[in-house]
Every structure is written in C-alpha cells, then in structure tokens.
A = this chain, B = another copy of it.
Amino acid sequence: MSKQSIKLSVDAVVFGYEEGNISVLLIKRKYAPFKGNWAIPGGFVLNNESLEDAVERELFEETGIKINYLEQLYTFGMPDRDPRGRVVSIAYFALVRPDAFKIAASTDAEQAQWFNINELPELSFDHNEILKAAIERLQGKITYEPLGFELLDTKFPFSDLEKLYSTLLGRAVDRRNFRKKIIGLNVLDELDEKSSKGSGRPANLFQFNQKRYFQLKKEGIIFEI
C-alpha cells in the first residue's frame, strides 16, 4: 500500500429564512481553482480539531457567521472531485436564525452572500451536488424533526411557522389543520406577548419548548407533520 496523501476538508451548507424566502450562504472564491466562482464555505481540517470545530472555524473565518444548528450531511469522496488532487469533503448542514441572517447579509457583501435557493449560481467543484443533497435533507427532515424552529426567531407568531412550512414543502398548508397538529404535539409554549407588525390583528407569540420536546421524544412520542 502506497503512502496515503488524501486531504480532508469540511464544507457547510448554511440555510437562512426570512419572509417566505429560503437562502443559502455562499462565498466567492479568492484563489484558483474556480477563482471568482461561488462556492459553499469550507476548508481543510486541522490535525487536532474535531470536524464540527473545523466547520465552525471555517464558517467564522470566511463569513463571520455563528450558526445555531449543525449536523453532518454526507461525505463526498470521488477521486476527481477536486482538480488539485484527492480531497475528501465532509459536508455539513447548518441553520441560522433571522437575526444572524440579517447581520451577515449587511456585512462582507463582497465575500459572502445569501442566495435564494431558487436563484442559485453555478457552483465550484461538486458543490451543486452537495447543495442539492442539503436541500433534500432539509425538506425531508423538516417533516419528522422539529428543525423549523431553528430557522425562526425564538419567539414567533404561528403564521411565520406556517409560512416556513408551506415554503419548504412547496405547497399550501391548511391553517386550521396545521395549528391543530402543531398544538397537539405539545412542544410550543404560548406566550403572553403579541406581535404587532403593521396591519391586521396582532398575533400571539409562541416559543419552542426544547426541554419538553426531548422529554416527549424519550417517551417515544414522535414529531411528525
């Protein structure tokens, strides 16, 4: 067996959401190959850091963002995926809340930018494939894990949650049935606050109760929408 000379990198697909738009954070590459092209943020793993640490470090270095949900997506390892040589990349999947989303959108406009997932540019390497896998994961997982709350502010009106789901699932959801179902899951706390943005009746704010969710999950109750 010849000495191994494979390099290891991590890449992260970061999703953000605001007002019916799902966005992905991309960076413009500064060096060859694919110089000037858009790419998913990422980079090489250091010898003594965990993979998750590598993701968070690279994300912070390249985009300044601080994510609040991270999970491993898939490892891409085709021998020819990087023209520089053999690079195996462990792709991650991250979610940020609207506040981080807005901050990141206002700074660093040249290097890192949010793209609506329906208006994506051609990406470098096999990043289109990675992004596709990430979108499928998000759409699939949102129906059986409470991921949606990671994309909203901690306090949110029901209509935000509903709009998020209808956007992600790509179809209308019935307001009454949706509310019944979510309330029935028993993982939301209704707050005494009301939102009052603009016209119409102010909405009660809700908050995801993670503690209760983990409790119910341990008892075998499954989240499903």
Residue numbers of A with Cβ under 8 A of B are 1-2, 4-8, 44-51, 72, 74-75, 77-79, 86, 88, 90
How many copies the complex holds: the figure is 2
Which residues of B lie under 8 Å from residue A74 when comparing CB positions? 72
**Are the CB atoms of B46 and A75 closer together than 8 Å?**
no
A48 CA to B1 CA, complexed, in Å: 12
Min CB distance A224 to B, Å, is 11
A86 CA to B49 CA, complexed, in Å: 10
Identity of the chain B residue whose Cβ is nearest the Cβ of A78 in the assembled complex: B50
Min CB distance A89 to B, Å, is 10
Which residues of B lie under 8 Å from residue A44 when comparing CB positions? 1, 4
A86 CA to B72 CA, complexed, in Å: 19
Identity of the chain B residue whose Cβ is nearest the Cβ of A51 in the assembled complex: B77
Identity of the chain B residue whose Cβ is nearest the Cβ of A81 in the assembled complex: B50
**Are the CB atoms of A2 and B46 closer together than 8 Å?**
yes
Closest 4 CB pairs of A and B: A51-B77, A75-B75, A6-B8, A75-B90
Which residues of B lie under 8 Å from residue A49 when comparing CB positions? 79
Which residues of B lie under 8 Å from residue A47 when comparing CB positions? 2, 4-6, 79, 86
